[in-house]
């Protein structure tokens, strides 16, 4: 036994020296992978912590026969980063909904919320991969701060069509973000 | 601000310490994952006895006459174990006659009397003797009570783990003799065995004259394994810890004097000479 299989066995045995070895060897790749998806160094540090805590607390999830430890950890970092983006998307969507319910209350626009979010860069990139008709309605509804009815009117389409396109666009956004996991580091 | 850690671009300062600390909060160093369900020494002995009996039931008539250990054939070795159980019965009754007798010499009569018996008779006698040990422990066995037998004096809990270890070692002797595949103890039993043996390694080193102060980071991999930081010898170590990584079952074979260090798949960092002396000392714990 040697290499990653030995490291995996040592991690399973509770060998903290092995954990330190893995961190010193692979943390930079994990960090870089997270930064690439998130575009934010602070959030990427949280991802590095999540990935190594998971490796240490559930070492059996890594199977040396399935591939190198480096590839596994970078993949976990990307998964975690995309999870963060998804969660950010949902948070923004919830916030947008609450703005609609309290129109008279002044506050930061949904556009501002998204732009300051850690996920903004990745979301923008994913938006670019949507069909024009879907991207337009997402930009009007989320980045333009319009209600669905207002977005439909601005786009010159029925409100039902706008809602349908918005649903399709959000589903597609998640798929597009997932696909980033398959890209090489 | 950033700080260099190993190769590649720098990581943010403090990230390494933060991540390692968070990891060790989620699982303490030394604890294996998945953890083996905890059992008592009595349960470990019962399981080892059941496994040994199961193995005996698979043997052919010819197997029982196969040379197994020292000058004993399989039948004689099972007789030896009957003798060990009989001495255990006396020890549990606080009979001092078995406190310091030789493990081999004291049990030789039980091995010798198997001559002329059928395999079934030998097996049944051993089974009854092991069952009586289990019954005596169940009825009156305070796990913390010190029991003296065959030159050992230790709490009953630890003695029962040593007895489970002995049954597994002889199970392996018989398997090797008759060509059966080796069998490892279940993870819970093995975990008790490795914990007991790791804790006794400094004593084994002292018994064999290893006195140079050595810090050993012992990592036993696989089910029943774990990690221990041991101080061996007298005084404070003058060198960084020597790391020894070996499969838990292989380490138990070494301690049972059934494998030499060069027969094991070892991974060592640090002072290899010190590691070799510690590993050689491990077999001093064997009873034979």
Q: In what order do the strands lie in the sheet with B226-232?
A: B226-232, B214-221, B242-247, B267-269
A14 contacts B27 by C-beta, under 8 angstroms? yes
* Contacts with B166 (C-beta within 8 Å, 6 or more apart), sequence order: B81, B84, B287
Task: Report the residue of chain B nearest A8, measured CA to CA.
Answer: B221
CA gap A127, A136 in Å, rounded: 10
Run of H or E including B17: helix B15-26
CATH number at residue B208: 3.30.1050
Q: What is the CA radius of gyration of chain A?
A: 20
The verdict on B201 and B148 lying in the same domain is: no
Model confidence at A37: pLDDT above 60: yes
The verdict on B173 and B194 lying in the same domain is: no
CA gap A12, A10 in Å, rounded: 5
pLDDT by residue (tens digit) across B42-95? 999 999 999 999 999 999 999 999 999 989 999 999 999 999 999 999 999 999
Q: Give the CA distances from residue A69 to residues A5, A80, A84, in Å, rounded to whole numbers and listed in that order.
A: 9, 16, 22
The verdict on B53 and B179 lying in the same domain is: yes
Model confidence at A147: pLDDT above 80: no
Nearest to B117 by CA among B167, B70, B61, B172: B61
The verdict on B75 and B175 lying in the same domain is: yes
Please identify, among B183, B198, B227, the residue that sits at the C-terminal boundary of a domain.
Answer: B183
Is the residue at B48 inside a domain? yes
Q: How many CB pairs under 8 A join A and B?
A: 111
The verdict on B138 and B266 lying in the same domain is: no
pTM: 0.79
Q: How far does B149 lie from chain A, in Å, by closest CA?
A: 33
Please identify, among B155, B183, B211, the residue that sits at the C-terminal boundary of a domain.
Answer: B183
Nearest to A120 by CA among A141, A98, A96, A143: A143
Nearest to A12 by CA among A44, A58, A49: A58
Model confidence at A109: pLDDT above 80: no
Residues of A within 8 A of B29 (CB-CB) are 14-16
**What's the pLDDT at A182?**
44
The verdict on B173 and B193 lying in the same domain is: no
- Interface check B31 vs A, CB under 8 A: yes
In DSSP terms, B147 is beta-bridged to B154
The verdict on B68 and B112 lying in the same domain is: yes
The verdict on B175 and B85 lying in the same domain is: yes
Q: Hey, what long-range contacts does B72-75 have (CB within 8 A, 24 or more apart)?
A: B72/B111, B74/B174, B74/B177, B74/B178, B75/B114, B75/B117, B75/B119, B75/B122
pLDDT by residue (tens digit) across B236-276? 887 788 999 999 999 999 999 899 888 999 999 988 888 88
Question: What region, left, alpha or beta, does residue B266 occupy, with left being phi > 0 and alpha being psi -120 to 50 degrees?
Answer: beta
Model confidence at A67: pLDDT above 50: yes
A6, A7, A15, A43: best to mutate for the B interface, most B CBs within 10 A: A15
Run of H or E including B18: helix B15-26
Q: Give the CA distances from residue B211 to residues A168, B33, B228, in Å, rounded to whole numbers and listed in that order.
A: 73, 33, 19
Q: Give the CA distances from residue B197 to residues B74, B117, B185, B248, B286, in Å, rounded to whole numbers and listed in that order.
A: 27, 36, 15, 11, 10
Nearest to B266 by CA among B242, B247, B241: B247
Confidence of residue B1 (pLDDT cuts 50, 70, 90): very low
The verdict on B176 and B241 lying in the same domain is: no
The verdict on B88 and B219 lying in the same domain is: no
Nearest-CB residue to B20 (from A14, A19, A57): A19
A4, A9, A14, A64: best to mutate for the B interface, most B CBs within 10 A: A14
The verdict on B103 and B52 lying in the same domain is: yes
Model confidence at A121: pLDDT above 70: no
Provide the CB-side half-sphere exposure for B103 (13 A, CA): 12
Which value does ipTM take for this structure? 0.88
Q: How far does B105 lie from chain A, in Å, by closest CA?
A: 39
According to DSSP, residue A60 is labeled G
Taking residue B186's Cβ as centre, other Cβ atoms within 10 Å add up to 17
The verdict on B274 and B148 lying in the same domain is: no
- Domain extent for B124: 41-183
Task: Report the residue of chain B nearest A24, measured CA to CA.
Answer: B6
CA gap B266, B263 in Å, rounded: 9
pLDDT by residue (tens digit) across B78-88? 999 999 999 99
**What's the pLDDT at A152?**
83
Is the residue at B30 inside a domain? no
As a whole number, the mean pLDDT across chain B is 92
Note whether B19 contacts A25, CB cutoff 8 Å: no
Note whether B225 contacts A12, CB cutoff 8 Å: yes
In DSSP terms, B227 is beta-bridged to B219
Note whether B19 contacts A14, CB cutoff 8 Å: no
Residues of A within 8 A of B11 (CB-CB) are 27-28, 31, 48
Residues of A within 8 A of B267 (CB-CB) are 1-2, 6
Domain count, chain B: 2
CATH number at residue B84: 1.20.120.450
**Terminal alpha carbon distance of chain A:** 27
- Interface check A3 vs B, CB under 8 A: no
Q: How far does A15 lie from chain B, in Å, by closest CA?
A: 6
**What's the pLDDT at B2?**
44
pLDDT by residue (tens digit) across B206-237? 888 888 888 999 999 999 999 999 998 888 88
Model confidence at B116: pLDDT above 80: yes
CA gap B247, B225 in Å, rounded: 8
CA gap B73, A110 in Å, rounded: 84
Task: Show the domains of chain A with their CATH numbers.
Answer: 3-81 (1.10.1740.10), 83-182 (1.10.10.10)
Note whether B30 contacts A14, CB cutoff 8 Å: yes
**What's the pLDDT at B138?**
92
As a whole number, the mean pLDDT across chain A is 80
A39 contacts A9 by C-beta, under 8 angstroms? no
Mean pLDDT computed over B117-145: 93
């Amino acid at each position: 036994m040697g290499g990653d299989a030995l490291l995996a066995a040592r991690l399973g045995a509770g060998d903290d020296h092995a954990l330190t070895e893995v961190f010193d060897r692979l943390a930079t790749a994990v960090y870089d992978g997270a930064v690439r998806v998130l575009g934010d160094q602070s959030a990427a540090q949280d991802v590095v912590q999540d990935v190594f805590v998971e490796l240490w607390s559930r070492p059996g999830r890594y199977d040396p026969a399935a591939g190198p430890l480096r590839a596994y950890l970078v993949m976990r970092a990307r998964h975690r980063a995309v999870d963060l983006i998804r969660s950010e998307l949902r948070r923004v969507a919830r916030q947008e909904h609450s703005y609609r319910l309290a129109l008279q209350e002044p506050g930061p626009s949904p556009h501002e919320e998204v732009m300051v979010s850690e996920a903004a860069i990745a979301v923008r990139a994913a938006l670019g991969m949507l069909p024009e008709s879907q991207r337009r309605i997402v930009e009007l509804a989320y980045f333009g701060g319009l209600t669905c009815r207002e977005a439909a009117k601005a786009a010159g389409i029925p409100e039902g069509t706008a809602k349908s396109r918005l649903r399709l666009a959000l589903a597609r956004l998640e798929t597009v973000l997932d696909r980033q996991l398959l890209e090489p580091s | 601000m950033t700080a260099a850690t190993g190769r590649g671009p720098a990581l943010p300062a403090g990230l390494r310490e933060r991540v390692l600390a968070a990891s060790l909060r989620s699982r303490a160093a030394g604890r294996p994952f998945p953890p083996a369900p905890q059992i008592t020494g009595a349960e470990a002995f019962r399981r080892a006895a059941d496994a040994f009996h199961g193995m005996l039931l698979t043997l052919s008539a010819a197997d029982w006459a196969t040379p197994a250990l020292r000058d004993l054939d399989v039948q004689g070795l099972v007789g030896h174990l009957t003798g060990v159980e009989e001495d255990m019965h006396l020890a549990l009754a606080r009979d001092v006659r078995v406190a310091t007798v030789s493990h081999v010499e004291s049990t030789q009569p039980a091995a010798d009397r198997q001559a002329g018996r059928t395999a079934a008779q030998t097996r049944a006698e051993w089974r009854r003797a092991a069952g009586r040990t289990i019954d005596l422990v169940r009825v009156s066995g305070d796990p913390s009570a010190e029991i003296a037998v065959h030159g050992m004096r230790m709490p009953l809990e630890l003695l029962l783990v040593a007895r489970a270890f002995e049954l597994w070692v002889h199970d392996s002797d018989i398997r090797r003799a008759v060509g059966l595949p080796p069998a490892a103890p279940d993870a819970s039993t093995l975990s008790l065995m490795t914990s007991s043996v790791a804790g006794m390694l400094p004593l084994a080193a002292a018994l064999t004259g290893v006195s140079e102060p050595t810090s050993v980071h012992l990592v036993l991999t696989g089910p029943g394994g774990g990690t221990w930081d041991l101080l061996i010898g007298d005084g404070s170590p003058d060198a960084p810890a020597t790391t020894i990584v070996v499969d838990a079952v292989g380490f138990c074979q070494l301690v049972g004097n059934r494998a030499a260090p060069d027969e094991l798949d070892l991974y060592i960092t640090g002072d290899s000479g010190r590691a070799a002396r510690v590993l050689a000392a491990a077999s001093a714990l064997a009873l034979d």
